[in-house]
Amino acid sequence: MTTQSETDLPREESSAIDRREAIRRVTAMLGGLTLVGGSSLVAACQRERRPGPRVPIGEFTVADIDLLDEVADTILPETKTPGAKAANVGAFMALMVTDTYKPEDRQVFRDGMRSLDALCFQSNKAAFVAAKPEQRLALLEKIDREAKTYMDLRSEARKAREKSDTTAQTNASPRPADPQTHYFRMMKELALLGYFTSEIGCTQALRYVEMPGRFDPCVDYKPGDRAWAGHA
């Protein structure tokens, strides 16, 4: 429900709150882990810098952005609504990595792009952007399973370490840093965030009302109905 004070917020502040809601939802979709980039994603989303899909961004070349577009479009393909590539999600991903990721996370992400392309060539004798849709999908499904296993083991190791720290009650040695997030986890969360905060994602994949009306606590739902886009 939108309160009077929320409707009076400046446009840019209201937009930032929408982005926070989007980040919360994407985090839930991905199992509750904090998104790489954290609160910096909100600030980056707020900025008016909106490069076109054919413009290099930071260290990302046009070819890099084309690759990210195809990865995102394989995750969120065109169905009854346009896919991620139509929403220029590749450019969004490149911008978020450039503006919000720590240097070590940027390195993991870019190394992951090269690894993904090499795996595609190894399996299909073609770069990812030149591979057939079914080949791309099979490869990303395989990498996604590997990423989930990796992230599950990472989470279990963190819990075990925290339990050990609590039991030992000692600060004799510094706690080792967590292993880096899997690169495909980064790609997947940015693809979802970019798509569902784009105009296409909000107004076509989701149902969007620019100015919500009365509060209705019980709305009929029919199987297949689209979810509502979040509001401030």
Contact 84, 76 (CB under 8 A): yes
pLDDT, tens only, 117-174: 999 999 999 999 999 999 999 999 999 999 999 999 988 888 887 777 665 555 555 5
What confidence tens digit (pLDDT) does each residue in 187-208 have? 999 998 888 888 776 676 555 5
* Mean of the per-residue pLDDT values of the chain: 76
What gap in Å lies between CA 80 and CA 77, rounded to an integer? 10
Residue extents of the structural domains in the chain: 4-162+179-205
* 38-93 pLDDT, tens digit each: 555 555 555 544 545 478 999 999 999 999 999 999 999 988 888 899 899 999 99
Cβ distance 189 to 197 under 8 Å?
no
